Amino acid sequence: MTIPVNRPYQPPFAQYQQYLQQAFDRNWLTNNGPLCQLLKVRLEEYLGVKNLLLVANGTLAMQLAYRALDVKGQAITTPFTFIASSSSLLWEGITPRFADIDAQSFNLSPAATAAMLSSDLSAEVSAIVPVHVYGNPCDVHAFEQIGAKHQLKVIYDAAHAFGIQLAGRSVLSFGDAATLSFHATKVFHTVEGGAVIFRDADAYQRAERMINFGIDNKDGTISGPGINCKMSEVHAAMGLAVLDNIDQILEKRQQNYQQYLRLLSPYLQTPLWAENASSNGAYFPILCPTAAAASKVMQHLAAHQVTARRYFAPSINTLATYQTLGYQSCPVSEDYANRTLCLPLYYDLTETEINFVAKLVLECL
């Protein structure tokens, strides 16, 4: 029995093929074709958002959000996340400033963010970039207040948060923008792809021109610099086929998550989920008692052909590239990066496999 940490959901091929056939019949394969237009409409309806812009991948989604919202100088973000959250800032010439995470939620701490903004480090900060880590919503109301107080843009990396509701409202509707990744390993995917949801329609329209070389789709005028980060019809076809099955995907992933929780939560810490928030079963992280215990669990799982991942390690503030920008100590993130593991979780993971993985973990404790 070989159990990977993740496995992409594949819709029935005939279902995918029927969308592909439409693109072939029209011979319209890119440049905001009918499938992209349909996917945008259906995603806005399903997610309960407006101003959703499809792009080629989740990293470009973040870079586009920074450009469209004119983020410059520095941005406060979390060190406990996938590297793209920080590298996308650096790529755009924005210096990441790391604030520590909350020990319960594993998300960027509003208190640590506020403390940084009250220090001498805050002069060039123009944005806050929190991450809904594992799909667990940040304290969006606290970040809204902090952003308003200091006149900062708030841009959420919501790569893990597809379909998450907070008190009945899409978590993607908070902030000046929220970005999604539609990579093949995500809950919802287009093989490669992503999206930005903008609060403001003007920002959406600016970004819409930017993704097509700066060309206005309506009259062909060029209003400024742009880049090519459009989604193709082939990728939109996969998205539509996956979206056709999204309710059963989310239901099964949540069942798998809850099974792990029943088996392991009495013995291991998991992130404290935001109050009144739904879950999408994107990941199942565990916080081991020590770094040595985490290594032991990984090795024991590997010996039985089970893959776990250190999501997220190392704490990004400790990487040499970022230390040259001015090291900021984040003790909770640095500690958790050494002790956190994500266990296998995907749509077709079976109950027997989950029981097997949990048994192996408990054998190490």
| pLDDT tens-digit readout, 93-141 | 999 999 999 999 999 999 999 999 997 666 799 999 999 999 999 999 9
Domain ranges of the chain: 13-243, 246-363
Beta carbons of 306 and 88 less than 8 angstroms apart: no
CA 10, CA 23: separation in Å to the nearest integer? 19
For residue 281, what pLDDT is reported? 98
Residue 193: both structure tokens together: 């792809």
Asked, as a colleague might, if the bond just before 312 is cis with ω within 30 of 0, I would say yes
For 13-243, CATH gives 3.40.640.10
For residue 37, what pLDDT is reported? 98
Percent of residues in the chain assigned helix, strand, coil, to nearest 5: 45, 15, 40
What value does the CA radius of gyration of the chain take, rounded to a whole number of Å?
Answer: 21
229-245 core/surface letters (b: 16 or more CB in 10 A; e: else): bbbbbbbbbbbbbbbbb
For residue 121, what pLDDT is reported? 62
Inter-helix orientation angle 246-264/233-243, to 10°: 60
For residue 292, what pLDDT is reported? 97
For residue 120, what pLDDT is reported? 66
Residue 270: both structure tokens together: 């998991």
Residues of the chain scoring pLDDT < 70: 120-122
Give φ, ψ of 179 to 5 degrees: -115, 145
Q: Residues 6 or more apart from 54 whose CB is under 8 A from it?
A: 36, 39, 40, 43, 193, 194, 195, 230, 231, 236
Q: Residues 6 or more apart from 217 whose CB is under 8 A from it?
A: 32, 208, 209
For residue 365, what pLDDT is reported? 84
Beta-sheet strand order (sheet of 95-98): 52-55, 194-198, 177-181, 153-157, 125-129, 74-77, 95-98
For residue 223, what pLDDT is reported? 80
Q: Give which of 39, 36, 70 is closest to 176, Cα–Cα.
A: 70
pLDDT tens profile 155-173? 999 999 999 999 999 999 9
Is domain 246-363 given the CATH code 2.60.40.1260 in the classification? no
CA 69, CA 268: separation in Å to the nearest integer? 40
CA 300, CA 361: separation in Å to the nearest integer? 8
